């Protein structure tokens, strides 16, 4: 799942998704279904998107005791999604439980969904992390630590910001996925994101895949905006 531009479908319901996707004609997309849409529509939204042959990142960011995460992941794998995630702060046994659940739930003949772990949310600043999580190290150290335990647990990679992706590749290796939200063009409003970067910067830093939401979904012309992001993401050679 490298080199993808993943569109975050942060919509209230399926009707809004259908209107949005109708502007993309036959294009095969990598789509992220998050809490807002999944909690409204449930598994049927995944089936509807898969029917159109889109790839799917089911972004529910699980963080619970290992047994609960294992059972939930078994059900998530049975939906046939391509990518799922947890919070690395849940710890190694929880992440291992996630993988066990995914193995158990993957349909025969299908590939197990890749599983990645959120390090520090891209909306978190170093100051907020230190004051509110009482993590008294630089934010980069916290992200690198979470990436290390994610690797130790056997997951496929992490969610981080573009700003940390290069250091993760150096420390953990190039076959470890770095999936980065917080992507904006220079002219965009950053909204609630803190650690942001352009698609060009993401490519330069060796990011595996970028996640773009509102800059495309809330644009006056979503397809045009999608192409702007896609061209910048694909147009820069490493
Ligand atoms: O650290 C994280 C983890 C997940 N996200 C999700 O990505 C998109 C970003 O949307 P934008 O509109 O482009 O800001 C959104 O669905 C988040 O839930 C993240 O932003 N940061």
- The reported pTM is 0.97
Among candidate residues 20, 44, 46, 15, the one with its CA nearest the CA of residue 33: 46
Catalytic option among 15, 40, 50, 61: 61
Q: Which of 12, 213, 214, 216 best tests ligand 1's pocket when mutated (most atoms within 8 Å of CB)? A: 213
CA distance 178 to 156: 9
Does residue 236 carry a pLDDT above 90?
no
Residue 109, φ and ψ in degrees, nearest 5: 85, -5
CA distance 26 to 236: 25
Question: Would residue 59 show up in a list of annotated catalytic residues for this protein?
Answer: yes
Catalytic option among 14, 50, 64, 200: 64
CB of 34 closer than 6 angstroms to any ligand 1 atom: yes
Label residue 238 by pLDDT band (50, 70, 90): very low
Percent of the chain with pLDDT over 90: 97
Q: What is the mean pLDDT of residues 50-58?
A: 98
Ligand 1, atom 10, lies closest to the CA of: 213
Residue 224 buriedness (CB in 10 A; 0-12 / 13-18 / 19+): exposed
Q: What is the CATH number of the domain that holds 98?
A: 3.20.20.70
Distance 212 CA to ligand 1 centre (A): 7
For residue 135, the model assigns a pLDDT of 98
Question: Would residue 188 show up in a list of annotated catalytic residues for this protein?
Answer: no
Q: Collapsing DSSP states into helix, strand and coil, what is residue 49?
A: helix
CB of 155 closer than 6 angstroms to any ligand 1 atom: no
Does residue 46 carry a pLDDT above 70?
yes
Label residue 88 by pLDDT band (50, 70, 90): very high
Distance 45 CA to ligand 1 centre (A): 19
Residues constituting the chain:
238
Q: What letters, b where the CB count within 10 A reaches 16 and e where it falls short, cover 35-74?
A: eebbeebeeebbeebbeeebbbbbbbebbbebeebbbbbb
CA distance 178 to 38: 24
Cβ atoms of residues 148 and 158 within 8 Å? no
CA distance 135 to 142: 8
Our CA angle for 71, 74, 76, nearest 5°, is 110
Ligand 1, atom 7, lies closest to the CA of: 181
Question: Would residue 14 show up in a list of annotated catalytic residues for this protein?
Answer: no
Cβ atoms of residues 38 and 58 within 8 Å? yes
Average model confidence (pLDDT) across the chain:
97
The number of angstroms, rounded, from the C-alpha of 203 to the middle of its chain's C-alpha atoms is: 16
pLDDT digits (tens, 9 = 90+) for 109-168: 999 999 999 999 999 999 999 999 999 999 999 999 999 999 999 999 999 999 999 999
Cβ atoms of residues 204 and 169 within 8 Å? no
Q: Which domain holds residue 144?
A: 4-234
CB of 211 closer than 6 angstroms to any ligand 1 atom: yes
Give the chain's domain count. 1
* Residues 6+ away with beta carbon under 8 Å from 137: 145
The ligand 1 atom at the shortest distance from the C-alpha of residue 212 is: 13
């Amino acid at each position: 799942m490298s080199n993808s531009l993943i569109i975050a479908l942060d919509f209230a319901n399926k009707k809004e998704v259908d209107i949005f996707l109708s502007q993309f004609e036959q294009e095969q997309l990598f789509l992220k279904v998050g809490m807002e849409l999944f909690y409204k529509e449930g598994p049927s939204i995944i089936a509807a998107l898969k029917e159109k042959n889109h790839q799917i990142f089911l972004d529910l960011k699980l963080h619970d005791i290992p047994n609960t995460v294992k059972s939930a992941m078994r059900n998530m794998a049975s939906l046939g999604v391509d990518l799922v995630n947890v919070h690395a702060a849940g710890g190694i046994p929880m992440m291992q439980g996630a993988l066990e659940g995914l193995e158990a739930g993957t349909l025969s003949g299908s590939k197990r969904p890749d599983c990645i772990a959120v390090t520090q949310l891209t909306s978190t600043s170093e100051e907020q992390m230190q004051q509110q999580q009482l993590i008294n190290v630089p934010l980069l150290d916290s992200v690198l630590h979470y990436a290390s335990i994610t690797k130790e647990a056997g997951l496929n990679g992490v969610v981080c910001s573009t700003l940390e992706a290069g250091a993760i590749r150096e420390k953990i290796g190039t076959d470890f996925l770095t999936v980065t939200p917080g992507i904006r063009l220079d002219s965009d409003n950053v909204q609630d994101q803190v650690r942001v970067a352009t698609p060009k910067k993401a490519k330069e830093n060796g990011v595996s895949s970028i996640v773009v939401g509102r800059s495309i979904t809330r644009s006056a012309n979503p397809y045009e905006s999608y192409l702007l992001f896609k061209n910048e993401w694909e147009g820069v050679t490493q």
